[in-house]
Amino acid sequence: MSDFIDDFLSGLEEDKQKPRTKGDRIQKVLMSSQANQGTVVFAPWINKDDNKFYKVLTGVREYKTTLSLYREGKDAVWVRILPKDFYGELTAAQEELYAEVTGLFDQLDSDLGDTASKGQKLRYRSYSLFDGVLINHVNLKREAINDNVGKAVLLMFPSRGPVNELATAIQAKINSTKGSREWIPAIFSKDDKGREGVMSINFEHPEGVIGYKTQVSFEFNTSYSKYVDPVEGFPEEVTKLLGDPIGSFLGWERGDEGNFSAKLFNELKQVLTVAIKTNGKVPAESTEAAPENKNGKDPMLNGDGAEKKEEAPAEAPAPEAEGKKPEEEIKLPF
């Protein structure tokens, strides 16, 4: 009987819910941070929803405020409002709430006009997102950044440049190989195993230049160096975190049952209503008060409030003028 009890308790201890660790979540690398700019080499991963290896978001509305959902309102943060399609299928009530909040944002944008402080409160941005396993990362000083090597990462580029340059780089490689496309699955594979190459993105914001400089290239295994092991692939505990770049991008802003959070949008509605009121125009239907910014700190942009290190605020280059263009698509020959 004692052996049975010991085995039972031992099995229960092994099967109980273990606390989450850093390895249990995707690591976000915000490439607007000067500290992260440089060159990232990674194995790109396919999205579960559309079978692409990237996401392009244009016309993302961002407003800086405090919300109870983010560190209990203790710190200000840039709250993102994505184009509606990225929230999935919405109910009629959610559609209405989304329209109200985006309408308030656009009204505040108009009310603020060209004031000097406008960029500190709201902005439109474009993003290129890549899920993948990080192989190498060096900064602009050519110093290695090893924190996330071998981990699942979401590379967040505040620019359409990386996707635009990806299309250019693929076509250039096809031309240089006399029209061959056989090399593409060696990098852009739908499987964990079989890869024999990686993707490299050099990304920086040169001083005095508006926007970002981007270069995309591809690297393949040789007899002298191996970027990826086509036989072993990558560990399942790493790859299971990949495939949902939008969900990872939203992080704490996601809802309980999908990307759309009615709680967040309702609170943001209150905040924007009060912001409009202080600028002299008040919607007749709302008089709620905005959450208080208790300490005025400017936290780093992040996905879940847990990893400040990678989520440093941008060096504030001017937002790209292309912010409202439709999503581009790169068709890979699979």
Instruction: Return the pLDDT at 208.
Output: 87
Closest CA to 125 of 99, 101, 166, 156: 156
pLDDT at 279: 78
* First-to-final CA distance of the chain: 59
Number of Cβ atoms within 10 Å of the Cβ of 260: 23
Domain ranges of the chain: 28-37+46-162+237-278
Q: Are 43 and 195 in contact (CB under 8 A)?
A: yes
pTM for the model: 0.79
Tell me, rounded to whole angstroms, the distance of Cα 81 from its chain centroid.
13
**What is the reported pLDDT for 5?**
59
pLDDT at residue number 287? 42
What pLDDT is recorded for position 153?
98
The 3 state secondary structure assigned to 221-279 is CCCCCCCCCCCCCCCHHHHCCCCCHHHHHHHHHCCCCCCCCHHHHHHHHHHHHHHHHHC
Instruction: Please state, in angstroms and rounded to a whole number, the distance separating the CA atoms of residues 65 and 291.
Output: 8
| Cβ proximity of 272 and 122 under 8 Å | no
Averaged pLDDT in 10-residue chunks for the chain of 334 residues: 59 49 77 96 96 96 95 94 96 97 97 89 96 97 96 97 96 94 93 92 92 96 91 93 96 94 97 89 47 40 39 41 45 52
Q: Please answer whether residues 241 and 148 qualify as being in contact, where contact means their C-beta atoms are separated by less than 8 angstroms.
A: no
Burial of residue 145 (number of CB atoms within 10 Å: 0-12, 13-18, 19+): middle
